[in-house]
């Protein structure tokens, strides 16, 4: 139920805004990759303007996600190391507990 409400309140207006944005920016533009001869058609791409905007948006999101992923690598490594250490300490605690139970079972009852 909550997921449907989120879809209706957030994704539906966002979709409408994107459709309006695409319709408003559908003029064809040429992106030239040769700065010395911009009229050269070999290194040029023509597409509607919103396509270039979406490509720039997606590229920026991927670069930002990659930068975040790599910058947080030390935290993930530390979490893995501490998880392994916690498992090792838990195993040692279990061994000590079992040993204590064995010793307690061997003592004469009072």
Tokens found for residue 26: 């559908």
**pTM of structure:** 0.63
Task: Give 3-57 pLDDT, tens digit per residue.
Answer: 888 778 888 888 889 889 888 888 999 988 888 888 888 889 999 999 998 899 9
Q: According to the model, what pLDDT value does residue 109 have?
A: 64
Mean pLDDT of 76-88: 96
User: Which CA distances in Å does 97 have to 88, 89, 90, 104, 109?
Assistant: 14, 12, 10, 10, 19
Average predicted confidence (pLDDT) for the chain: 90
Tokens 């250490």 correspond to 85
Q: According to the model, what pLDDT value does residue 26 have?
A: 86
Q: According to the model, what pLDDT value does residue 61 have?
A: 94
User: Which CA distances in Å does 59 have to 30, 54, 69, 83?
Assistant: 19, 8, 15, 34
* Burial of 44 per CB tally in 10 Å (0-12, 13-18, 19+): middle
> Distance between CA atoms of 75 and 94, rounded to whole angstroms?
28
């Amino acid at each position: 139920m909550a997921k449907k409400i989120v879809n209706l309140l957030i994704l539906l207006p966002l979709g409408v805004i994107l459709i309006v944005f695409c319709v408003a920016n559908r003029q064809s533009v040429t992106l030239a990759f040769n700065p010395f001869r911009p009229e050269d058609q070999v290194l040029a791409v023509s597409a509607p303007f919103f396509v270039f905007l979406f490509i720039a948006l997606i590229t920026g999101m991927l670069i930002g996600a990659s930068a975040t992923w790599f910058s947080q690598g030390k935290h993930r490594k530390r979490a893995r190391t501490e998880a392994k250490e916690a498992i090792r300490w838990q195993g040692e605690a279990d061994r000590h507990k079992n040993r204590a139970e064995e010793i307690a079972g061997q003592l004469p009852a009072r």
